[in-house]
Chains A and B, each alone.
Chain A
Amino acid sequence: MKFVNLLKKELSELINAQMIIGLIVSLSLFWLMGNVMQSVTEELAEDSRNTNVYVCDMDDSDVTHDLIKDMESNGAAVNKVTVNGEDYAAALKDKDYKSFVVLPKGFGDTVKSGKKPEILSITKVKSASAFSGMTGGTDTAEALINKYLSVELSKQQGVSEEELKNIESELSVVSHTVVADKSAKISSGAIIGKITSQNLILPIIIMVLILMTSQSLIASISNEKIDKTLETLLSAPVSRGSVITAKMLAAAIVALINAGVMMFGFSAYSKGMTGAVTSDLNVDGILQDNLTTDQAFRQLGLNLGVTDYLLVGVQLFITIMICLAISIILGALVNDSKSAQTMLLPIMMMVMIPWFVSMFTDVNSLPMVPRIIVYAIPFTHTFTSIPNLMFGNTAEFWIGMVYQIVVFAIVMFFALRLFKSDKILTMSLNFGQKSRFKKSGKTNED
């Protein structure tokens, strides 16, 4: 009985409205993540069983006609693509497919002469997310062409079916990647790989920056409230504006120092990691006579200039300001050390969601509701800023920045009003419980 009494007391302390809200938030987060992953996996599954094949028949010969018939007889729905010269980007502009195969001139003659023919694989990359370079339709096309060639060349050379199984690919694929209105002779995998390795650090820095800044400011305000040093400070002949500006600036400086150190550490770490990965995959070796990734980056316009980096810097600054403004409000709600820890949760959610989503997929490819939720989070636009600038989505970049400025102005307005009002001393997040001040017998109304 005594133990039950003790247990009831412990449970009543632990199971409170804060915990329930935490659970609801976690459930919502999982729901959102589930939606994101479902859309990604559906896209992957659809891509893997994609029988919609896009082919540009530049050779227009008996062999290519026969090949296309063979592909259709194998269950593929072959769609014809027209390309003007080598303008592959124009062929993919405003189309719902993002890759196709080109059967170049002389393809049929090469096959007839018993040599290994070449085809071109064209892929459009729209974002830097892990699955943005999916080319299911093209893979199907390549497999079917390869199968056709194996049979045809085997017939020519009198190879038996048993021997045929041991024959390696008869097809040589030259990959082209399209970004916006530019294309380069390189595989989309190499481009995505390079972008991923380059952008590995930035999201982590953004996360550290946001979490560190919030944590410092929330702790700074809540400690002053809990220790009652805030009352002393606010009764001194200094304006409340100065007090809060000093706190915001200090939090931002500390966060920047932390971010700088993290950036240095992670750049050393990722250099080691990506170096090893690149040499393992022999990416440059695969390129052979193709472009190097650096050359391809330049050709595709993926390299960021000084102005781009300045814009990213400005956006990071706005992000920190939003985060500081939110932290002032959260810090003001704290009335004990327990609630101080909980206060970081909303910021954590607002960082984790866009980070997770932008890592796996393009936000635009999400279903409507999750997409609106993710875009409503102001930090999303920070995570998507570099990919937007890289892929020439300047309109999206500017819309994101304007949205962040509007969010900052609104949150800062409320934060300053709060800090300059009585509420900074009287407000607390009690969820119906008595505040620490009331419990101690010293009420706010005393």
Chain B
Amino acid sequence: MANVLEVKELSKQYSKVLAADKVSFEIAEGEIFALIGPNGAGKTTTIRMISTLLQPTSGDAVVAGHSILKEPEKVRESITYLPDEAGAYKHMTGVKYLRFMAGLFTSDIEKLNAYVERAKNICGLGERLNDKIGSYSRGMIRKLLLARAVMTKPKLAILDEPTSGLDVLNAIEIRKTIKKLAAEEGMSFLLSSHNMLEIEFVSDRVGIISKGHLMVTGTTAELKERYSAPNLEEVFERVVKENEVR
């Protein structure tokens, strides 16, 4: 399968901190790749660089054939990004928000309507979509934002902590939606999460990042075998501690 994303030695230096150090990985079409790591490891920085929000200090990433350095606008046509703890415009109704966001991806009214219809079906908020977002619960907002992120059928959906702060039922629903979209529509996902159970359940491959270095990548099964660990949580612990000792 062709790669939707190829990250090539991406680095980001803030004034004092090297937040990402030559991070390289790739994501194939229809693949769900999870980037995991402790707080401050460089996950969000890497994701923001791929989303063209931050300028890399060095390296490049190619999304659907477009370089984030040379063609950032083309990259943005191929991706959607759901930031961690992201909000939505509270004064808008759910439907208006979806129409507004769809309008940033297309000027064709038929396409726009199709995107909105798709988002309506995915989020499952029904009549509540006609209410102001300010009246939504956290779970409802997250569902709305996830629907927004996938309504345009992007080649790559980048979701930073997609289920953070949600109750178990809402989190399960969102994970199922992600898996379904990847399997049935061939959509690729780049996720970041602290929830190892979620990662084991939802992702095809995992990358563990620590102090800006991408330490290891592989399927959950491969990693468990390599580190002789019963679960991903232990793999994570060993990888991060090994990096701290170095």
Contact = CB atoms under 8 A, between A and B. Distances in A.
A9 interface: no
Interface stretch (A103-111, A127-135, A231-239): A231-239
Given A231-B81, A236-B101, A445-B40, 12 more contacts: A228-B87, A229-B88, A231-B53, A232-B145, A235-B51, A235-B53, A235-B81, A236-B104, A237-B76, A238-B76, A239-B73, A445-B42
A227 interface: yes
A444 B12 CA distance: 12
11 contacts: A227-B89, A228-B83, A228-B87, A232-B145, A236-B76, A237-B73, A425-B54, A441-B39, A442-B84, A442-B85, A446-B44
Given A229-B89, A232-B81, A445 B17 contact: yes
Interface of A: 227-229, 231-239, 421-422, 425-426, 440-446
Interface of B: 14, 17, 19, 39-45, 48, 51-55, 73, 76-77, 79-90, 101, 104-105, 145, 158
A227 to B, nearest CB: 4
Contacts of B51: 231, 235
A274 B44 CA distance: 62
In this complex, which of A231, A233, A446 has the most chain B Cβ atoms within 10 angstroms of its Cβ? Answer: A446
Nearest to A232: B86
Given A228-B87, A426-B14, A235 B52 contact: yes
A238 B101 CA distance: 11
Nearest to A420: B55
Nearest to B14: A445
A232 B54 contact: no
Contacts of A234: 52-53
Contact of A446 (B42, B53, B82, B90): B42
A261 B84 CA distance: 41
A425 B19 contact: no
Contact of B104 (A229, A238, A443, A446): A238
A442 B44 contact: yes
Contacts of B55: 421-422
Nearest to B12: A445
Contacts of A238: 76, 104
B169 to A, nearest CB: 24
A402 B83 CA distance: 44
